[in-house]
Every structure is written in C-alpha cells, then in structure tokens.
Amino acid sequence: MTRRIFVIMFVIVFSMIILVNYKPILKKIFPLQYNQSVMKYSAQYDMDPYLIYSIIRVESKFNPYAKSNKGATGLMQITPQTGMYIAELLNIDSFDENQLYNPDLNIQFGSFYFSKLYKDFNADINCALAAYNGGSGNVTKWITTNDKGEKYLDVEKIPFNETRNYILRVKKIYNIYNFLYKT
C-alpha cells in the first residue's frame, strides 16, 4: 500500500514539475543547434529558420554524421547526387560528397535546395516538403487540379507513406519550434 502511495505521489510531483517547466524541457528536445549557420542561410535564402530547424530535426535529429540507407548524408540528409547538383547551381567547383558531413555546408546546401523547391512550387509548403523528401518529379505527377482550375497537392493522396508522414512530421515540429521560440 505504501509503495502504491509513493508511486502516485511521485507521478503527481513529476507531472507538476513538467507542467511548470515544460518549455525548458521541450527546448532540450527541440534545440536551436547550429544557430549561426541556420540563421545565416535561412536569411540568405529567404526561409523561416524554424522551418530549417524542423527539417534538420526530422532528417537527422541534429546528427551531422547521419547517413541514410539511400546514402543521404549530414544534418539535412542530402544525397551525393543532389549535393553535386546544388554545388553546380552555387558555382562551387571543388565539391566532394564528404563535405556533406560539414554542418555549415550541409545547412547551406539544404537551405538553398529547400528554398529552390519552395519557389519552384509557388511557395506551397506541402509541395516543397514532398519534393525535398520524395523528389520534385514525383510531386509534379501528384499535383492535381480542382474544379476551379487551381493546382494543389492532396497530401492524403501521396502514394509514398514516407513522404506523406514526412510532411506531417515536419509541419508538426515546425509548430512546436514556433511555439517555443517565436516571440
């Protein structure tokens, strides 16, 4: 009986601590790591820094050495092929895929690339996120037209579960970043 009371008291006290101090706890789970690079490149490429943080959080959980089973590398999980493409667009001649492990370069490339996708898809966040995860060619196939002649992406009809879930996760984490850090 005393063990049960102790457990109940512990749960109550722990819950009260969390309720009173939830923001500092959440800020440890959703950090602003690599702040200088994120702020620099999000400003340079006209993107919301909290969106870039959200992409990094989903892609690598802030692990600069993350590597996917498809070869995507670093904080923003850029494949070597996409890295070469971005390096060409940015006129970087001496690009080597191992540079994708460099946090600053990875954030520069990822921010630039996401900004490009965002512009390519007329500032449609769902299309840009879907393209970042599933490829812009696929997104172009998934865009439909409503009866008013307006083009849009129905997230629920994306055939790739990973891409559908990716969009939802990034947007959910983006809302958390905004809640925690926007003043």
Q: How many CB atoms lie within 10 A of CB 58?
A: 22
pTM score of the predicted model: 0.87
Exactly one of 59, 88, 156, 162 is catalytic; which is it?
A: 59
pLDDT for res 17: 53
Secondary structure class of 145 (helix, strand, coil): strand
Report pLDDT digits (tens) over 89-132. Answer: 999 999 999 999 999 999 999 999 999 999 999 999 999 999 99
Residue 97 catalytic?
no
User: What integer is the mean pLDDT of 42-63?
Assistant: 98
Segments making up each domain of the chain, as ranges: 1-30, 33-181
Is a pLDDT exceeding 90 seen at residue 15?
no
With CA atoms as reference, report the closest residue to 106 among 94, 97, 115. Answer: 97
CATH number of 33-181: 1.10.530.10
